[in-house]
Structure 1
Amino acid sequence: MERNLDVCDKMTIVQTRRGWCQELMGCQARTEFKYYNSSDVHFASSLDDSSCLCRLCCAPSYPFKSTVVEEGTNEEILTMTRPFKCPVGAMKCCCYQELTITPPPDASSSSPPPIGRIVEQCWFCVPRFLVLDGSGREVYKLHQPTCLGGLCVDCCAAGNPCGRGCCKVPFAVFDAGETGTDGRGSKEREKGKILKKPRSLASELFTDADVFEVDMPKGATTEEKAMLIGATAFLNANFFEGGGS
């Protein structure tokens, strides 16, 4: 994991397109990603392991396990596991969406302790999430840029919202202890971001393949970068699968 993520300050995560027959029939295929580092080198891939029936009946809440493997060697880098939970929703008091990231097994343990988790918080207007390390300590908080004191998503925060493809609204990464994360003045407090890149109108309408850019926080550890890779898969599963936007 270290040799792939240590020097990776920016990452592009590309979802593989489904076959035309699957697109036409509306089938929820297994999610496959390819991972590119800041030098645009394809260094890893992943394919989720999930039940076809769950994908068909429970999208976008279906449980899955996805292992990221190094390109060329097939060595495990990390594993992401999501249990079945209620869909992301406002004012829930339980059954929050979550995803756990674990390192590959080693000689000392076939079931190593987790690197961290991404957990949905209780929210009212704008979805909010916490990134926790393996001990449960809060590391980052994630949410989209807001306006009106946090009541609405700010669709103009990243520039023209009516450019190529859909709105360009990232999920901002803040330190967990940061308090001023709402409103137009919060951009200077951002430590990183996860952005679903806008695509052509035809791609948005007729395919379910997304491309994400992940800007890692400056000074982030290998484990924290792994957690943000997991956060990207988590956000994709909850907001962009099955025709989400």
Structure 2
Amino acid sequence: MAETFQYGSLKNEVVTIPPGRGQPPYQHGGQPAPNSAVGQIQWMAPPPSIPGCPPGLEYLTQLDQILVHQQVELFEAFTGIETQNRYQIKNALGQQVFFAFEESELCMRLCCGPGRGFTMHVVNNLNQEVLRMVRPFQCCSGCCWCAGSCDHCSRTIAIESPPGQPIGHVRQRGSSWKAHYEILDANMDPVLKIRGPCWFCQGVCCTCDVDFKVLSLDEDHEVGNITKQWAGFAKECFTKADNFGIQFPMDLDVKMKATLLGALILIEFMFYEQKKNKNNRY
């Protein structure tokens, strides 16, 4: 029996998010309750269980593209006080696949801004936690020049499915000006690399998308990409709600697909969470 998630706990139980945190209240059988205020959300049909696939990640076996939409936080937009991030994760048809919500301490958000440590809980359409991303707080880290010389200077995030069972890691690497990451498996062995552009911006005069290329280990083949999409003038200028997309081969290992989702979250915090909050530097 899944229990209601209590903010501030880091237990390994299957969790559900309470009504009002981006998901509708559920009735018996896992269907949205009648007259739900957000019952109009389109859900991707759950696939059957697949041997060897972490429970709940079967959705990813049917996808070669994921869309991630950060939800607008009105309280944060009006007050400037950092709130916990929430994301809708959809397929190419706009059907919701997962919902992700951050767990972090208020003091950490206020003092450390985008450099904060957090746990990102990812739940399926039955409100069951199927994926967990853990980013530790790392003081004096994140510089692309220093990340290659010392692991303590590298931003990292661990991906777990089920919660408590590591399936992959993302680690920042030194690369001079460019954003550079390694995608690692559960044993910390490199599998893929991510290379960002040397310089990028988005604004009123620059509305193009920004691509972070997913490459093979030898960097000779482009496997996919993580794209920061232009979200529109109002959202880009007045909020920190960003839109992203991931493309990868349909037959890519489902654990690596989930790890690329973790890479997207790390990139979002490192490059886009801070841009409209100039008081936060790391």
User: TM-score, normalized by length of structure 1?
Assistant: 0.81
For residues 81-100 of structure 1, the C-alpha deviation after alignment (integer angstroms, 9 at most, x for no partner) is 00011342132133210000
Q: Paired residue for 1:172, among 185, 189, 213?
A: 213
Unaligned runs of 5+ in 1: 106-110, 146-151, 156-160, 181-188
What's the Cα RMSD here?
A: 2.2
Distance change in 2, residues 1:37/1:163 (3 Å): same
Are positions 1:13 and 2:68 aligned together? yes
Report percent identity of matched pairs: 28
User: C-alpha distance in 1, partners of 2:79/2:184?
Assistant: 38
Please identify runs of 4+ aligned residues in structure 1 that moved more than 6 A.
161-164
Provide the residue aligned with 2:81 in structure 1. Answer: 27
Provide the residue aligned with 1:68 in structure 2. Answer: 122
Are positions 1:38 and 2:92 aligned together? yes
Whether the aligned pair in 2 keeps the contact of 1:165 and 1:204 (CA below 8 Å) is no
Whether the aligned pair in 2 keeps the contact of 1:141 and 1:173 (CA below 8 Å) is yes
User: C-alpha distance in 2, partners of 1:196/1:203?
Assistant: 13
Distance change in 2, residues 1:164/1:68 (3 Å): farther
Aligned residues: 217
Whether the aligned pair in 2 keeps the contact of 1:166 and 1:204 (CA below 8 Å) is no
User: C-alpha distance in 2, partners of 1:81/1:16?
Assistant: 20
Provide the residue aligned with 1:97 in structure 2. Answer: 155
Provide the residue aligned with 1:136 in structure 2. Answer: 188
Q: Paired residue for 1:196, among 228, 241, 245?
A: 228
User: C-alpha distance in 1, partners of 2:203/2:238?
Assistant: 19
Whether the aligned pair in 2 keeps the contact of 1:121 and 1:128 (CA below 8 Å) is yes
Whether the aligned pair in 2 keeps the contact of 1:87 and 1:238 (CA below 8 Å) is no
Q: CA offset at residue 165 of structure 1?
A: 5.7
Provide the residue aligned with 2:48 in structure 1. Answer: none
User: C-alpha distance in 1, partners of 2:206/2:90?
Assistant: 22
Distance change in 2, residues 1:3/1:55 (3 Å): same
For residues 167-215 of structure 1, the C-alpha deviation after alignment (integer angstroms, 9 at most, x for no partner) is 422111001222x5xxxxxxxx321011111122222110111111110
For residues 44-78 of structure 1, the C-alpha deviation after alignment (integer angstroms, 9 at most, x for no partner) is 1011100111111101110000110001x112221
Whether the aligned pair in 1 keeps the contact of 2:100 and 2:121 (CA below 8 Å) is yes
User: TM-score, normalized by length of structure 2?
Assistant: 0.71
User: C-alpha distance in 2, partners of 1:80/1:154?
Assistant: 26
Query: Computing the radius of gyration over CA atoms, which structure comes out larger, 1 or 2?
Result: 2
Q: CA offset at residue 28 of structure 1?
A: 1.4
Unaligned runs of 5+ in 2: 1-55, 278-282
Provide the residue aligned with 1:229 in structure 2. Answer: 261
Provide the residue aligned with 1:186 in structure 2. Answer: none
Larger fraction in helix: 1
For residues 140-184 of structure 1, the C-alpha deviation after alignment (integer angstroms, 9 at most, x for no partner) is 111124xxxxxx3478xxxxx888864422111001222x5xxxx
